[in-house]
DNA sequence: CCCTAAGTGGACTCACTAGTCCGCTTACCG
DNA sequence: CGGTAAGCGGACTAGTGAGTCCACTTAGGG
C-alpha cells in the first residue's frame, strides 16, 4: 500500500474537487453526483471511491471554504486599523457566502470542526480589536458576526452600520 | 355542477392546506406530497385533485403567508408613532420568515403577484412615514426592507440599528 | 518491457417522489 | 329513501438520484 495516489488518480481527484466546488456553489446541496462527475469528466463510481457518500464530499468542499474564510480573517489581522480590518473581512466573507450556496446551507453542520474553531478564534480577535478601537458595538460576539455574514451579501452597508459602536 | 364543494371535500381541503402550511414551513420546498397527505389524513391523489401540481400547492401556501405579512403591515400603519410602527412590523415579519422555510425559498417567485404588490404598497407607506419622522435612513426602499427581513430573524436589533437614520 | 495492483466507468439495484387511473364510497338533491 | 354525480384513495407509472459491482484498462516498479 502506498500513501500517494497514482498520477491519473491524483489528477481525477483534483478535477473532482474542483467540479464539486463549482456545482455545490451554484446549485447548493441539491447538486447531483452525476452532474459533478460529468463536469469533472469522470465516471460517477469514481466519486464514491474517494468519498464514501455524497455527504462526505459536500463536507470536504464546505470545510475548504471555511478554511478560506479563516485565511481571510488572518490576513485582515495584518491591517493596523482595527475598524478597517473588521469591515474588510466582513465584506469579503459576505462575498464568499454570496457565491456559495452550499456554504450557507451547511455551515451549521460543521460547527464542531477544527476549521470552524480556527475561524472563530481569528474572527474573535478581529472583533476584540475593533471593539477596543471603538469601531464596533460591545454586545457582539464572533459567533454573532458569523451569523450576520450571510445576511450581509445583499446590504452590507446597512448591516455594518448596525454593527458600529453606538455614538452613545 | 356546483361552485361549492361537498362538505367532506371542503373539510379535506382545509386539512390539506393546514398540513401543507406546516410541512412547507418546517421542511421547505422539499416537503413531499406524501408527507403532506399523510399529515392531513387523506390519500395523496386527493391533493392532485385540488392542485394540478406540487408547485401550485406550494404557491398557494406561500401567497397565504405573504397576505399575512401584508395584513401585519396594514395593522402597523394604525400606530401613530411612525418609528414604532416600522420596528414592530419589521420584527413581526422577521418572525414569520423564521418560522417558514418555504417563504424564504419561494418569495422571489411570487414577485409578480398582486399579493406582493399589495405588500410593497403597505411597506412603502411604513417606510415613507418612518423616514419623514426621522426614524429611518433615507436611502432605503420598501424592496430593500423586504430583502433585509429574512436576515433579521437572527439579530433584529443590529439590523434595525443599521436602518435607523444616521445622526448626521 | 511486462506484470500486477491500483484505478476506472458502465450497468446495475434500491429507495423515493410527482403525477395518473379507475373501481369503490358517500353526500345530498328530489 | 334511493339514484347519482362528486369525491375518494390504493395501486400504478415514470423519472431521478445515491450507492454497489465487476470486467476491463493502465501506471509504474522491478
**A136-147 pLDDT tens trace:** 999 999 999 999
Contact A140 B158 (CB under 8 A): yes
User: Does A2 score more than 90 pLDDT?
Assistant: no
Cross-chain Cβ contact B151/A150 below 8 Å? yes
H-assigned helices in chain A: 7-27, 33-40, 44-50, 54-76, 82-98, 101-106, 114-132, 142-148, 156-163
* Confidence (pLDDT) at B157: 95
What is the pLDDT at residue B18?
98
pLDDT of residue A1: 44
pLDDT of residue A165: 75
How many angstroms separate the CA of residue A109 from the nearest CA in chain B?
16
- Nearest chain B CA: its distance from A94 CA (Å): 13
A148 touches strand C (CB under 7 A): no
Chain centroid to CA B93: how far? 8
pLDDT, average across residues A107-125: 97
A60 CB contact with strand D at below 7 Å: no
Q: Residue A3 above 90 pLDDT?
A: no
Contact A30, B30 (CB under 8 A): no
Burial of B165 from C-beta contacts in 10 A (0-12 / 13-18 / 19+): middle
Which residue is closest to B152 within chain A, CA to CA?
Answer: A151
Mean pLDDT along residues A11-27? 98
* Mean per-residue pLDDT, A15-25: 98
C-beta within 7 A of nucleic chain D, residues 45-74 of B: 45-46, 49
Q: What is the pLDDT of residue A20?
A: 98
Dihedrals φ, ψ of A26, to 5°? -80, -50
Cα–Cα distance measured from residue A166 to residue A140, given in angstroms and rounded to the nearest whole number: 12
Round to whole Å and give the CA distance between A83 and A102: 29
A68-80 per-position pLDDT tens digit = 999 999 999 999 9
How much is the pLDDT for B4? 87
**Do B108 and B135 touch, CB atoms closer than 8 A?**
no
| Contact criterion met (CB < 8 Å) for A162 and B166 | no
Contact between A158 and B140 using a beta-carbon 8 Å cutoff: yes
Q: One digit per residue, pLDDT tens: chain B, 168 residues?
A: 456 899 999 999 999 999 999 999 999 999 999 999 999 999 999 999 999 999 999 999 999 999 999 999 999 999 999 999 999 999 999 999 999 999 999 999 999 999 999 999 999 999 999 999 999 999 999 999 999 999 999 999 999 999 997 765
- Buried b / exposed e over A44-82, threshold 16 CB at 10 Å, is eeebeebbeebeebbbebbbebbebbbebbbebbebeeb
pTM of the complete model: 0.93
> A60 CA to chain B: closest CA distance, Å?
24
3-class DSSP assignment, residue A139? coil
pLDDT of res. A4: 86
pLDDT tens column, A117-134: 999 999 999 999 999 999
Q: State the average pLDDT for chain A.
A: 96
Which positions ≥6 away from B141 have C-beta within 8 Å?
A: B124, B127
Amino acid at each position: 500500500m502506498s500513501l500517494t495516489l497514482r498520477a491519473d488518480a491524483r489528477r481525477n481527484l483534483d478535477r473532482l474537487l474542483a467540479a464539486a466546488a463549482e456545482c455545490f456553489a451554484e446549485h447548493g446541496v441539491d447538486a447531483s453526483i452525476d452532474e459533478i462527475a460529468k463536469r469533472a469528466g469522470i465516471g460517477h463510481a469514481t466519486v464514491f471511491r474517494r468519498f464514501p457518500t455524497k455527504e462526505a464530499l459536500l463536507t470536504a468542499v464546505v470545510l475548504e471554504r471555511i478554511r478560506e474564510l479563516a485565511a481571510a480573517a488572518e490576513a485582515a489581522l495584518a491591517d493596523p486599523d482595527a475598524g478597517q480590518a473588521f469591515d474588510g473581512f466582513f465584506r469579503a466573507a459576505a462575498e464568499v457566502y454570496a457565491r456559495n450556496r452550499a456554504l450557507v446551507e451547511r455551515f451549521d453542520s460543521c460547527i464542531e470542526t477544527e476549521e470552524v474553531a480556527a475561524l472563530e478564534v481569528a474572527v474573535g480577535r478581529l472583533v476584540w480589536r475593533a471593539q477596543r478601537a471603538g469601531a464596533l458595538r460591545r454586545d457582539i460576539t464572533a459567533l454573532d458576526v458569523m451569523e450576520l455574514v450571510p445576511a450581509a451579501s445583499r446590504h452590507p452597508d446597512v448591516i455594518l452600520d448596525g454593527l458600529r459602536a453606538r455614538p452613545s
